[in-house]
Structure 1
Amino acid sequence: MRNYLRWSEIPYPGQSYPPIPVTPEAGNWPMFFIAREGQTFLDPFRNHITWRIKNPNTIDWASELQIVQQSMQQITPEQIRIAQMWAAGEVNKQIIPIVFQMMETYGLASTKAARFLAFYQAAINDAFVITWHFKYLWDVARPCQYDRNLKTVLMTPSFPGYPSAHAVMAGCTEPILSYYFPQEKNRIHLLMEECAMSRLYAGVHFKVDNDEGLSLGRQLGEIVVNLIRSQNI
């Protein structure tokens, strides 16, 4: 068992007090597809869920910090562009235009488009809630709290780092979009991988935040796809 630094206990560089948390209660908000019974999560078919995400006590955070430090030292203009592009507003702001482009390209009927968008946006809500549940449950520090001299591309958000919300959103998006637009599966995969990796390029997340966020998000997306498929519409 390894120990790790707690986000809520360490100031960001240039600050005297630990960061003020943003919506820490969001991890308890209602979800559309996932139910809770005490500490247990249930899918739409009432099956117990074991989330596919590592306990942070099993992660080598010193090695993760070295990856971030090396990434910041060797950052390229293209990586900076990717970091800034995916950080321009909510991550959904970057994904929704891709969604509408695919709907138009493949002529998704208006009725099916409405259902698809409803399922997708509801899934994103659940992805945020689950992400916030784990962020504040585990309270994992950000790279800049491990290395106060770290020069990041973007400002570090004011909530715990693990898992990355961008990565969970991207992971959740991938199976849902791939179900509706199987012809675009490879492109969708690459775009969502880029979205997650952008947070390492930004210097605000460890690589494992992104890797485990993708895993968690894909699991949720697969749960939603199983429900969609069961309705046979």
Structure 2
Amino acid sequence: MHSDDVLAFLDSHPDFLTHHAERFGLRAAPQERVVVSFAERQLLDMKDRIRQLESRLHQLVRHGEANDLIQARSHRLALGLMQARSTESVLAAVSKGLLDIFQIDRVALRLWHPQAETRTPSCTTTRADIQLLARNLSAPSCGPYANDEVLSWFPPVPVLQSFAQIALREESGEPFGLLVLASDNADRFTFDMHTHYLAQMGEMVSAALLRTLGAE
């Protein structure tokens, strides 16, 4: 049989290669009536894999840039806390750092440390429910809910949609205060967000407050 005969046969039977693709090392493209070589199919698969890897790489770069920004802001907050020489100046550094540096909409802080009542009466609370709330926080709590007492620490307008509640603890682990961050953006503090940096923030604020409360 000559090549012209083979070509004529294939012209007369267009489905022949599709039906016998595996025998000749060919592979039919899905949803198509075209038969492509196995090497070409591998190339297409590789291009698709490269596109997926590029998308993943761009995502990792964005996450890295976001982490760098958080670390830079945390560094500025830490410097402000280190420079504070009194409890009042620590509270001012917390407010400035979170409102200005981190651009958080609302910040509230309450203490029940023995030295706090005479030095920061406006930030002191004796409510057992708040102390119990802080004691139950093994990690910062984020989401759309806060109890009525916490809500009363903020003005009624704008309506706050998300909260991060962070216990302030002594070295023993016993809480002596509660730091609450709030936003009118429901996506700012969500149930599924990572709280590593929030926990570090709580540790920095706790250390600065304990330093000044114990020294004054």
Greater relative contact order (CA < 8 Å, ≥ 6 in sequence): 1
Report which of the two structures shows the higher radius of gyration computed on alpha carbons.
2
**Fold conserved between structures, TM > 0.5:** no
| Structure (1/2) with the larger helix percentage | 1
- Normalising by structure 2, report the TM-score: 0.31
- Normalising by structure 1, report the TM-score: 0.29
